[in-house]
Amino acid sequence: MLDIILIILGVLCLMTGLMGCVLPFLPGPPVAYLGLIFLHFTDKVQYSTTQLIVWLLIVVVIQILDYFTPMLGSKYSGGSKWGNWGCIIGTLVGLLFLPWGVIFGPFLGAVIGELIGNKEFSQALKSGVGSLIGFMLGTLLKFVVCGYFCYQFIMGFLR
């Protein structure tokens, strides 16, 4: 009976984790990882300690990257320190306007930051697009990790 409850909790965590890839108030990969932990404590699947630690490290790295990819996108698209700071501030302000603020906050912050730093509008826009691409890359990485966790969960039953 406990196994059934843990499996159901695991499935719910994986589904929530996938939703958390696009809903900024849900930490997708950590919740999906919790789903694997629930499955690990059943009699059905036993992951190795190495697997659990590596997966945890992946989750930590992805969570950290998720906050920096918009800024890196801005930087690599020609943004200056003004655009980077604008991107950071836009991300923080965007948290107040979920869910769209998290998407457009870094973009608008980078554009406004570059404009304050006396860049031309076209260059400011390029920096903003870079931050948006960085955000989308971070979202894609979260989907890949959560998808991989779903795959591991399913494969646990097929072994």
* Domain residue extents for the chain: 2-158
- pLDDT tens string 128-159: 888 888 888 888 999 999 999 999 999 987 87
Select the more confidently predicted residue: 31 or 71. Answer: 31
- Position 93 pLDDT exceeds 80: yes
Rounded to whole angstroms, what are the CA distances from 65 to 15, 118, 141, 148? 22, 29, 9, 18
pLDDT for res 76: 80
DSSP the chain: -HHHHHHHHHHHHHHHHHHHTT-TTS-HHHHHHHHHHHHHTSSS----HHHHHHHHHHHHHHHHHHHHHHHHHHHHTT--HHHHHHHHHHHHHHGGGTTHHHHHHHHHHHHHHHHHTT--HHHHHHHHHHHHHHHHHHHHHHHHHHHHHHHHHHHHHH-
Rounded to whole angstroms, what are the CA distances from 78 to 71, 87, 106, 143, 155? 11, 13, 15, 27, 43
Instruction: Kindly state the average pLDDT of the residues 64-85.
Output: 81
